[in-house]
A and B are shown apart, each in its own frame.
Chain A
Amino acid sequence: MSCLKEQFDELRKIYPDEIKDAMVLPLLQMTLKAKGHLVESDALYIADYLELPAMQVKEAMTWYSMLYRTPVGKHVVKVCRSVACSLRGEQRIVAHISKKLGIKPGETTADNKFTLLEVECLASCGTAPMMQINDTYHEDLTEAKIDQILEALQ
C-alpha cells in the first residue's frame, strides 16, 4: 500500500477537502490497477484514508461492474443481463459464450485468458443484446459476431 499511498497523496493535492468523497472512485480505480481485483479491506483502507464511513466506500466498490472483486483473466467478457438485453436474447448469448469458452458466468478459463461475467445494465439498450470486453462495447450481438470477436482475441 505504501506506493499506492504516494499516488493517493498526489491525487489529493488537486481535490479540495470539502469534496474528498469525490476521490472514492479514482482511489478505487488506482487500487484496482495496482492489485488486479479489490477486496473489502481495500475499501476500509480508502475509507480510513479519506475519513469516510467504510460502508460508503464499500457501496461504491460493489456498485460498479468495472471494479472486479475476484481475480480476472486478460479479457473480461461482461454480458449485459438487464431488461432490454434480456428480452433480446441475453441468455442465448451467455450460453453461446459459455460453450465457446468452456466456462460458466463468473469463471475464468484455465489459460487465464477470458473471464465471463453477467452484469447489470451497461447503458446501451438501443443496441441490445450487447457485451463489453475490457473497455470495448460490442453491440447488436449474434452468435456469428461473437465467434468473430472471440477469435480475434485468442
Chain B
Amino acid sequence: MSNIEFSIDDKKLEALPGETVLKAALRNGIDIPYLCYHPCLSIAGNCRICLVRIKGRPGFHPSCNLPVAPGMEIESDCEDVSAVRKNVMQFITLNHPVDCPVCDKAGECKLQNYHFKYNGSASLSIDAKKHKPKFYDVNERILLDAERCILCSRCVRFTHEISKSGMLGITERGQQSRVEHLESGAAKDDYSDNIIQNCPVGALLSRDFLYKSRVWYLEPVASVCNGCARGCSVDVWRRKHHWKVRALGSEKNRMAYRITAKQNDDINGRWICNKGFDLNKQINDFASRATKPAIGGMDATCQDALSEARKLIFEAKKPAAIVSAHASNEELEAFKKTLGSRVEVYVRKDYEPAAGEVVEDELLIKADKNPNSTKVEELFGKESFSAAAGHDLVLVWGDNVEYSALSGAKIIHLATQKPNGNPDVLIPISTQFERKGSYTNFEGKVNRFEQVFDKPELVLHASDVFGRL
C-alpha cells in the first residue's frame, strides 16, 4: 500500500497506511500535545489535549485516534484549537494540587510544559480542590499521589497490556475516580517501575527516588543493564558537573540517583524490568567495592601488586585464567590479545539467578544473569574450570568467586567487589560504570555503554592490567 498524502497546518505530509494523525505528526516533527497517548499502548483518547480540527468538518477530533484519510486537511495551530487546548488544560488542572515545588516530576512534567505552552492562566475555579489520597501504596516500590493523577490510564494499560499483571485499574466514577489496586494485597509485577517513568505527571512516585533530588540537577548517561543476557539500554542519572557541590559530600556527587529505561527498539523497546531499575543500588554500593590492591590480604600499591602477579604467572608451571561474563567486549579482546595464548582459559558465569528472582519470562528477562556470556563463549568456548586439570595458578577475573573451588592453586584475583577471602594477589578493577565499552547480548546484538563516573584512585581498568602482566 502506498503512503497517504494529507496536510497539517497547510504543510503537505505523507502518512503510512493506517497511521493516526498524531503519529504522522510526531514522525514529521510537528508538535501536537498528548498526555494519555503512548506508542506502545492501546489508544484511550481520554485526555483530549490532542484535539485538532479537520477543515470542512464541524467540531474537534482527538488526533491520537484519528486515522489519516487521503487529502485530509488538519488544523492543529489555529486559534480555535489553541482555545480548546487551553480549556482542556483548565479542566485537567481543576483539581490538580499544583504542588510542583514538592513534586519529584517537576522539571520533566508534561502538565507543567503544556501549562506554560497552552494555558498560562490561573485556575478558573473558586471552589476548594477535590482531595484524594496523597501517598497510596501501589506496591513496595511505588507510591501514588491520587491528587496529582490526571486519569490518563497509561499505568493501567501498561499493567494490562505489557506486563500482564493487571494489578491496576481505575475505580469509582467521575470526580471520585482514581487508580487503585485490589485491597487483597498488591499484585506482583516485575516491570512495575516502568509506570513511574510513563506517568505524564507526578502521580506515580518511586519510593527509592522520593525527594532525593530535583531532576534539573541531574543528567542521564547512556548505559547497559548488566542484570541478564538481554542487555537492556538504560539511562543512569548522575549529578550534573555544574551541580556537584562540595558541601554535599563525595557520595552525593558520585551517586547514581535513579535508573530509567532508554528506548532501544532492537533490544528492549521502551521498557526494562525492576532489576534494571535497581541498578543504582549496585552502583551506589560503595561498602562492598574492592578499592585497594592487596598481596596475601595486606594492602599494597598497584605497582607491587602487578609485579607480584607478573612473578606468579612467570613462575607458574601450568597457569590458568577464568574470564568473567561481566567483562566488556573490548576487555575480552584485550585479554585474548595479551594473556590468551599464555594461559589456559576457562569461562565462568559470575552470577546465577538469586533466590526469589524471576528466572525468565516472555517479555525481557533472560535466565542467564550475566550480560556478556555470548562474547565470552564466542572467544573462549564453554569449558569451565575443573580442579582435576591440576593448575598451580589461577587468574580469576570477575566477582562472586569461591576460592575453595580452585583446588589450592595460587590465586590472582581481578575483582570489582571485595572477595570472600584473601587471594595471593588482589587487583581491584573498574566497574562497567567507570569506563566505556560494549556487551554482546544473547541475540548477538552489541550494545554500548558510556562512562558514568571516574574510577577510584587505586582501581585499574582490567584491559590495562592484562598488558602489564
Q: Tell me the A residues contacting B by CB distance below 8 Å.
A: 40-41, 44, 53-56, 58-59, 62-65, 82, 120-121
Count CB-based A-B contacts (< 8 Å).
42
Contact status of A55 and B184, CB under 8 A, knowing A63-B173, A120-B173: no
Query: Apart from A44-B184, A55-B166, A59-B171, what 4 extra A-B contacts exist at CB < 8 Å?
Result: A40-B183, A44-B182, A53-B166, A56-B169
Q: Which residue of A lies closest to B174 (CB)?
A: A120
**Complex Cα spacing A10 to B160, Å:** 29
Chain B residues contacting A64 (CB-CB under 8 Å) are 173
Task: State whether A120 touches B176 (Cβ < 8 A).
Answer: yes
Asked if B170 is an interface residue, CB under 8 A from chain A, the answer is yes
B156-177 interface bits toward A, Cβ cutoff 8 Å, 1 = contact, 0 = none: 0000100000111111111110
Q: How far is the CB of A53 from chain B (nearest CB, A)?
A: 3
Q: Which residues of A contact B181 (CB under 8 A)?
A: 55
Q: Check A63–B160 contact: CB distance below 8 A.
A: no
B-chain residues with CB within 8 Å of residue A63 when the two chains form the complex? 171-173
B182 touching A55, Cβ below 8 Å = yes
What are 27 of the A-B contact pairs (CB < 8 Å)?
A: A40-B182, A40-B183, A40-B184, A41-B184, A44-B182, A53-B169, A54-B166, A54-B182, A55-B160, A55-B166, A55-B168, A55-B169, A55-B181, A55-B182, A56-B160, A58-B169, A58-B171, A58-B180, A58-B182, A59-B169, A59-B170, A62-B171, A62-B172, A63-B173, A65-B173, A120-B175, A120-B176
B183 CB contacts on chain A under 8 angstroms: 40
CA distance A59 to B166 in the complex (A): 12
Which of the four size classes fits the interface of chain B?
10 to 19
Who on chain A is nearest to B172 by CB?
A62
Residues of the A chain whose Cβ atoms lie less than 8 Å from the Cβ of B175? 120
Nearest chain B CB to A31 CB, angstrom units: 17
Residues of chain A contacted by B167 (CB below 8 angstroms): 55
Whole-angstrom distance between the Cβ of B199 and the nearest chain A Cβ: 18
Q: Which residues of B are found within 8 Å of A44, using beta-carbon distances?
A: 182, 184
Top 9 A-B residue pairs of the complex, sorted by shortest distance between their CB atoms: A53-B166, A55-B169, A120-B174, A62-B171, A59-B169, A120-B173, A62-B172, A63-B173, A40-B183
Contacting residues, chain A, for B176 (C-beta < 8 A): 120
State the Cβ distance, B175 to closest chain A Cβ, in Å: 7
Task: Give the chain B neighbours of A40 by CB distance below 8 A.
Answer: 182-184
Q: How far is the CA of A62 from the CA of B167 in the complex (A)?
A: 16
Chain B residues with CB under 8 Å of A53's CB are 160, 166, 169
* Contact pick for B174, options A54, A56, A121, CB 8 Å: A121
Q: In the complex, which residue of chain A has the Cβ closest to the Cβ of B168?
A: A55
Instruction: Find out whether the CB atom of B166 lies under 8 angstroms from the CB atom of A62.
Output: no
By a CB distance below 8 angstroms, the chain A residues around B184 are 40-41, 44
* Assembled-state Cα–Cα distance A37/B297 (Å): 70
Enumerate chain B residues within 8 angstroms of A82, measured Cβ to Cβ: 174
Q: Which residues of A contact B174 (CB under 8 A)?
A: 82, 120-121
Other-chain residue from A41, A56, A120, A121 in contact with B166 (beta carbon distance below 8 A): A56
Which residue in chain B gives the minimum CB-CB distance to A44?
B184
**B173, A62: Cβ atoms under 8 Å?**
yes
Within 8 A of A (CB), among B110-160: 160
- Minimum CB–CB distance for B167 against chain A, Å: 7
**Minimum C-beta distance from A111 to chain B (A):** 29
Q: Whole-angstrom distance from the CB of A28 to the nearest CB of chain B?
A: 14
In the complex, residue of chain B having the shortest beta-carbon distance to the beta carbon of A54: B182
Query: In the complex, how many angstroms separate the beta carbon of A25 from the nearest chain B beta carbon?
Result: 14
**Smallest CB separation, B213 vs chain A (Å):** 33
Query: Bound state CA distance, A82 and B175, in angstroms?
Result: 9
- In whole Å, how far is A66's beta carbon from the nearest beta carbon of chain B? 12
In the complex, what's the smallest C-beta–C-beta distance from B136 to chain A, in angstroms? 15
Give the distance to chain A from B119, nearest Cβ to Cβ, in Å: 21
Contacts of A121 in B (CB 8 A): 174
Shortest beta-carbon distance from A107 to chain B in Å: 18
Assembled-state Cα–Cα distance A3/B283 (Å): 58
Q: How far is the CB of A82 from chain B (nearest CB, A)?
A: 7
Q: How far is the CA of A40 from the CA of B184 in the complex (A)?
A: 8
State how many angstroms separate the Cβ of A85 from the closest Cβ of chain B.
Answer: 12
Name the distance in Å between A55's Cβ and chain B's nearest Cβ.
4
CA distance A44 to B181 in the complex (A): 12
Q: Which residues in B have their C-beta under 8 angstroms from that of A59?
A: 169-171
In whole Å, how far is B87's beta carbon from the nearest beta carbon of chain A? 15
Q: How far is it, in angstroms, between the C-alpha of A125 and the C-alpha of B174 when the chains are bound?
A: 15
Expressed in whole angstroms, the Cα–Cα distance for A41 and B173 within the complex equals 20
A149 vs chain B, min Cβ distance (A): 25
Chain A, Cβ-Cβ closest to B156? A55
Q: Which residue of B lies closest to A83 (CB)?
A: B174
How many angstroms between the C-alpha atoms of A149 and B182 in the bound complex? Answer: 39
Chain B proximity of A44: nearest CB distance (Å): 7
CB distance from B152 to the nearest CB of A (A): 15
CB distance from A51 to the nearest CB of B (A): 12
The closest CB in chain B to the CB of A57 belongs to: B169
Q: How far does the Cβ of B29 sit from chain A's closest Cβ, in whole Å?
A: 37
The smallest C-beta distance from A95 to any residue of chain B, in angstroms, reads 17
- Complex formed: what's the CA distance from A121 to B175 in Å? 11
B174 smallest CB distance to A (angstroms)? 4
**CA A81 to CA B184, docked complex, whole Å:** 31
